[in-house]
Amino acid sequence: SKNTLERLKNLRLESMVASDKDDLLLTNGLSYHTIIKWGDKISDQDTFGFNNDFTCFIPLDENNPKDGLLWVNHEYINPLFVSDFNYRDYENPQLHRTKEQVDQEMYNVGGSIVRIREENGQWKVVQNDPHNRRITAKTPIQLNWDTPIKGKSTIIGTNSNCSGGITPWKTFLTCEENYDGFFGETTYDANNIPTHRPSSYGWEKFYSYPPEHYGWVVEVNPKDGTAQKHIALGRFAHECCTLYELADKRVVAYTGDDKNDEHLYKFISSKPGSLKEGTLYVADTENGKWLPLDWETQTVLKAKFKDQTEVLIRAREAAKLVGATALNRPEDIEIDPITGNIFITLTNNKGKNDFHGSILKIEETDGAFDALTFKASTYKAGGEENGFSCPDNLAFDMSGNLWITSDMSGSAMNRADEPYMSFKNNSLFVIPRYGKDAGKVIRVASAPRDAELTGPWFSPDGKTLFLSVQHPGEQTKDIRNPTSKFPFDKDGIPKPSVVAITGDLIEKMNCLHQIEG
C-alpha cells in the first residue's frame, strides 16, 4: 500500500481551462448526473423549489452511505421564471407584484428534504417517501428563545436560505442571508428612532411580517421537518453555520455576515447538544480576539440596547460598538479535518477595491475551539496568479483536500469592462493537500452561463460530490431567449439543479487518508 500511496500522492490533476460555454463541464476523471431540478415533484403535494444553494446529506442508516436524506436550501427566486413571465421592472418589482405572484415566490424559497438513494451508480429521488417535504416562506417556525420577538414566539417561514451546516446530533442548519430583500429591514437613526426600509421583492405589501423575524440560523429536524430559529447566534446576513463539538459536547458555531464590511462571529454554547444558550463573540482579526456581545458585561452595549435580545436582533450595530473588524464579505466557513484550522472565504469588497477576494485562515490559540484569542492570516488570495476570483463555498473531503466554488456576479462575468473577463464562468476548484500539485488551485468544473456552483457536500463514503447549479440563465431578459438552457430540458427553460458528481478522481482524492492511516 506504500506504493499505492505514492501513486495517489503523485496523482496529477488536469486543470481545465476557463470556459464561457453554457454547460456544466468537468475535468477528466469526473462525470455527473442530475438528481433533481426546480419544479420536479417530490411528493403528491410538493415540488422542488428554486435557486438551490446549500446541500447536505444524512444517511438514514449509518452503515449505508447510499440511502439518506438530502437537504437543499432554496435561496431566492427570479420572478422572470417563477412568477412573472413578463418581468421587466428590475428596479421596482414591488410596483407590480400581485398577491398570487408573491404566493408563488414564497412557495419556491426555503428548503427541501428529499430522500435519495443510489442504485447502479445513479442517485435518484425516492418519490413520495414520507420524509419528502418542503419548508417554505409560509411554514410556521418556533423561536428557540424565551423572549418573544415583535410579540411572537412562532413566526412565519424562512427565506434567503444561503448556505448552512449540520449539527453533531444530525439535524440540518439553514442560514437566512439577504432577508432584507423580502420583508425589508428596520433601520435606526442617530436618535435610535426606527424606520422601515422597503424590500426589493415587495412581499411586505401583502404579508406584513416583521423583518426581525428573519436573518437567523434555522435548525431543521430531518425526520419530521419541524424547525426552530436560534436567536442566540445573532441576526445578520448569515452565510453559513459551521459547528465543532467540544469534548464535553458543548458546541462552537462559526458564522459570517456576507455584506461589505460586516463581521465574523463565533458562538460557544453553555449547554451540551444545544444552540439555545451561550455566548456570541465577534472577531477582531487585527488583534486576534473574540469579543463577547454580552449585554450584562459590556457597558457600551448596555448604554445602547435595552436587553440581550435587542443586542442579538441588532448584532451588526453591537459588533461595531465593541470594535469588531470590518471584513470583505465573509461567506462559507470550514474546519480543516487534519489541522483544525478554520478557513473563511472573503468573497470580495468592491468598495475597497478587493475585486477577487481571498481565503482567511484562523488558528485558535492552542488549537482550542473555545479559545478567546487566535491568529489570523491570508491563506490564499483570489486573482490572476491563483486562477480564481470571488471564492464562496468551501468543502474539505475526507483526505483534507479543499474544494472551493467561485461566485463572480452574473452581471460582471464575461464582460470586457469588468475585472473578471479572464476567469470566464464560475467554477469549482480543488487545492490538493498531497503530491506534486499540493497547494495549487486547480479548476475541476465550469458552470453553465450566469450560474454559480454552490453547496458542495460529499457523501459519507466520499464517492459522490453533491453540487448545486444555482441561477443558470440569471441574466435572461426575455424568457423566449434565455442566456442558459441548462439542464437542457425540452422546454429550453434554465432550471436550478442539484447534481451528483462521481468518478475516479473523487474516489482517489477521498481515500488518501485511509491509506496513510
Tally of CB atoms within 10 A around 349:
17
Binding mask 386-425 for Ca ion (x = CB under 5 A): ------x-xx-----------x------------------
Strand order of the β-sheet with 161-166 is: 154-156, 140-143, 227-230, 217-220, 172-176, 161-166
Any contact of residue 204 with ligand FEO (CB under 6 A)?
A: no
- Rounded Cα distance between 353 and 318, Å, is 26
- Cβ distance 174 to 231 under 8 Å? no
The helix (run of H) or strand (run of E) holding residue 251 is: strand 251-256
* Residue 177 interacting entry, from Ca ion, ligand FEO, none, C-beta within 5 to 8 Å by type: ligand FEO
- Rounded Cα distance between 41 and 24, Å, is 23
User: Cα torsion at 181, 183, 184, 187 (round to 10°)?
Assistant: -140
Any contact of residue 258 with ligand FEO (CB under 6 A)?
A: yes
- Cβ distance 375 to 387 under 8 Å? no
Any contact of residue 262 with Ca ion (CB under 5 A)?
A: no
In whole angstroms, how close is the CB of 410 to ligand FEO at the nearest point?
Answer: 13
In whole angstroms, how close is the CB of 33 to Ca ion at the nearest point?
Answer: 22
Contacts with Ca ion in 345-364 (CB under 5 A)?
none
In whole angstroms, how close is the CB of 219 to ligand FEO at the nearest point?
Answer: 19
* Residue 46 interacting entry, from ligand FEO, Ca ion, none, C-beta within 5 to 8 Å by type: none
Any contact of residue 474 with Ca ion (CB under 5 A)?
A: no
Selected binder of ligand FEO within 40, 204, 239, 257 (CB under 6 A): 239
In whole angstroms, how close is the CB of 210 to Ca ion at the nearest point?
Answer: 25
Any contact of residue 219 with ligand FEO (CB under 6 A)?
A: no
* Residue 75 interacting entry, from ligand FEO, Ca ion, none, C-beta within 5 to 8 Å by type: ligand FEO
In whole angstroms, how close is the CB of 508 to ligand FEO at the nearest point?
Answer: 30
Tally of CB atoms within 10 A around 167:
17
Residue 162 or 344 with smaller CB distance to ligand FEO:
162
What phi and psi, each to the nearest 5 degrees, are found at residue 100? -65, -40
Of the candidates 261, 376, 260, the one whose C-alpha atom is nearest the C-alpha of residue 326 is 261
In whole angstroms, how close is the CB of 504 to ligand FEO at the nearest point?
Answer: 31
- Rounded Cα distance between 304 and 310, Å, is 9
* Residue 450 interacting entry, from Ca ion, ligand FEO, none, C-beta within 5 to 8 Å by type: none
The helix (run of H) or strand (run of E) holding residue 174 is: strand 172-176
* Residue 332 interacting entry, from Ca ion, ligand FEO, none, C-beta within 5 to 8 Å by type: Ca ion
Any contact of residue 332 with Ca ion (CB under 5 A)?
A: yes
- Rounded Cα distance between 358 and 455, Å, is 19
- Rounded Cα distance between 143 and 297, Å, is 25
Any contact of residue 22 with ligand FEO (CB under 6 A)?
A: no
* Residue 354 interacting entry, from Ca ion, ligand FEO, none, C-beta within 5 to 8 Å by type: none
Task: Give the interface size with ligand FEO as a residue count (CB under 6 A).
Answer: 6
In whole angstroms, how large is the CA radius of gyration of the chain? 22
| Whole-Å CA distances, 306 to 190, 230, 299, 318 | 16, 20, 12, 12
- Write the CB contacts of 338 (distance below 8 Å, at least 6 apart in sequence): 400, 433, 513
Tally of CB atoms within 10 A around 461:
15
Contacts with ligand FEO in 307-366 (CB under 6 A)?
331
Contacts with ligand FEO in 129-188 (CB under 6 A)?
162, 177
In whole angstroms, how close is the CB of 152 to ligand FEO at the nearest point?
Answer: 26
Contacts with ligand FEO in 461-480 (CB under 6 A)?
none
In whole angstroms, how close is the CB of 299 to Ca ion at the nearest point?
Answer: 36
Site residues (CB under 6 A) for ligand FEO? 75, 162, 177, 239, 258, 331
Site residues (CB under 5 A) for Ca ion? 331-332, 392, 394-395, 407
